[in-house]
């Protein structure tokens, strides 16, 4: 698509940050999902060769003991009668497991949410709710960048419980090594190995991580580099969405001097970001057949005004 490069985007003079507000027209509700056109979806569907379907979602009750408060886990209630069963979930956090963060999730300081909207603009008006992505569908060409496997093969093993910032250079080198090139409209899946490590912990090991996402005792998490240059790289490559197998997409703990990638990607670029994606089975399948591109389908819950959603995602090879 013929769109301005990142360096040409409007800038907030006070902070030096750039934004895409207005690029897709006033009142846009899709953000970078505009990169995914019907033609993109049609081409992506042709990637299906074997029909193998790979689930990318964690169980809804995982990771129950990592967060507190709203994301502390749900209660599954079931009623049984002569005719069968019904059930419901109590305290079900829509961002408690494999998730999409929607455009209502993060704002950029006093400037507002994506498009410059303030709370009074979106409350009760149906603006920026995740239902817009649900109607559109997050469907298209998925590309896995298995940075964990790549770095280990390069003799650069890393500790999944220590911070490592995955840069665009890392992503491009890994993609070349896998024999795949990124294209406009891609849904980029980045596997760091963090979730593989977390799944291997016993219950006491997982419990020891509770509440350690921020603060002096924050755990280190490998993930996307937090710099403005990396956000610019995603925009210039016309990436429609990015999802990672870690806590927050970006490497943690966040360095305030570098910036918070959530604000840049969600609020300023309008990009869906996915957290806690289970990419292990997909990584093994891609390594086995040498194909790191696939048809990806994800159906966010059609919840009017929603902030986030379980991903309900599959890779189809």
Digit-coded pLDDT (tens) for 162-208: 899 999 999 999 999 999 999 999 999 999 999 999 999 998 888 88
**Per-residue confidence (pLDDT) for residue 68, from 0 to 100:** 59
Rounded Cα distance between 142 and 187, Å, is 5
Phi, psi of 286 (to 5 degrees): -65, -40
How many percent of the chain have pLDDT more than 90? 79
Rounded Cα distance between 303 and 134, Å, is 8
Q: State how far the alpha carbon of 234 is from the alpha carbons of 6, 7, 287, in Å.
A: 9, 12, 24
Question: What is the per-residue pLDDT across 215-252, written as a single tens digit (0 to 9) for each?
Answer: 777 888 999 999 999 999 999 999 999 999 999 999 99
What residue ranges define each of the domains in the chain, with the CATH number in brackets? 7-67+98-316 (3.50.30.50)
Q: Sheet of 187-191: strands edge to edge?
A: 53-55, 313-316, 293-298, 138-146, 187-191, 241-244, 273-275, 99-101, 308-310
Task: Tell me if 180 sits within 8 A of 292, measured CB to CB.
Answer: yes
Pseudo-torsion of CA 255, 57, 287, 243, nearest 10°?
-30
- Closest Cα partner for 54 from 300, 290, 308, 277? 277
Rounded Cα distance between 63 and 61, Å, is 6
């Amino acid at each position: 698509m013929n769109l301005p490069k990142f360096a040409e985007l409007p800038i907030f003079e006070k902070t030096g940050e750039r934004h895409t507000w207005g690029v897709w027209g006033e009142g846009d509700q899709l953000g970078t999902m505009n990169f995914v056109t019907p033609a993109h979806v049609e081409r992506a569907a042709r990637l299906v060769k074997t029909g193998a379907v790979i689930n990318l979602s964690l169980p809804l009750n995982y990771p129950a003991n990592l967060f507190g408060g709203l994301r502390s886990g749900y209660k599954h209630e079931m009623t049984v009668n002569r005719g069968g069963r019904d059930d419901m979930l109590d305290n079900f956090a829509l961002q408690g497991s494999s998730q999409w963060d929607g455009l209502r999730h993060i704002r950029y300081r006093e400037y507002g949410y994506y498009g410059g909207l303030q709370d009074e603009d979106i409350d009760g008006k149906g603006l920026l709710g995740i239902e817009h992505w649900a109607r559109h569908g997050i469907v298209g060409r998925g590309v896995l960048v298995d940075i964990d496997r790549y770095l280990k093969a390069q003799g650069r093993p890393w500790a999944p419980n220590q911070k490592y910032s995955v840069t665009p250079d890392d992503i491009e080198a890994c993609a070349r090594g896998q024999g795949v090139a990124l294209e406009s409209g891609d849904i980029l899946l980045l596997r760091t190995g963090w979730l593989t490590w977390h799944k291997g912990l016993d219950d006491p090991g997982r419990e020891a991580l509770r509440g350690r996402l921020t603060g002096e005792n924050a755990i280190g998490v490998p993930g996307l580099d937090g710099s403005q240059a990396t956000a610019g790289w995603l925009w210039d490559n016309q990436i429609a969405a990015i999802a990672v197998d870690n806590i927050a997409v970006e490497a943690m703990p966040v360095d305030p001097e570098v910036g918070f990638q959530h604000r840049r990607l969600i609020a300023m670029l309008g990009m869906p970001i996915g957290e806690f994606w289970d990419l292990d089975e997909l990584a093994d399948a891609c390594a086995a057949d040498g194909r790191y591109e696939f048809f990806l389908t994800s159906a966010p819950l059609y919840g009017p005004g929603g902030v986030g959603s379980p991903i309900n995602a599959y890779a189809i090879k």
